[in-house]
A and B are shown apart, each in its own frame.
Chain A
């Protein structure tokens, strides 16, 4: 069966510090991968998605970047965090036939607090 892991689960970082959140998927090949941010009162916002190694699509201009160095690994990064980067970050994957199923499978999330 497929599983998705993301870490760390909780992170408290000072403003201006770097960020690295990691997500890995097991039990499947060539998944589509996604990073979403969930901010209080603002719902779920798609940040990045990737349909293959090295292929990253950015949905919103911001202080964050994403990389996909391996087929089942997706990393969210920042060189200098801002207060506004605080939130709950969710990694998700979908199978290649997402066009037919439309289902995303989510990790348990990483809560980032920037102080």
Chain B
């Protein structure tokens, strides 16, 4: 069966360190992968998109990698800050132009001052 797995346990990290979140998938062949941030009681906010032919994408303190062999994406936040505390969701898009994405369950990140 198809699965998108993110760390179900919350990730606690010290301020200033790099946070690394994992998104693993099985029985999917995604054309692209997106990462979103969701704060409690709010809708998700889009952060980054990476296509299947891209290995890495960066945006300010954020970095995403995409390994289609390992079927895994890693999401890094460098120099983490308490304001980065939130739940982070990965979402897989099955084909270029295909409208739907499928979301993982999310990982809750807590950055400790």
Q: Do A and B come from one complex?
A: no
Residues on A lying within 8 angstroms of B by beta carbon are: none
Residues on B lying within 8 angstroms of A by beta carbon are: none
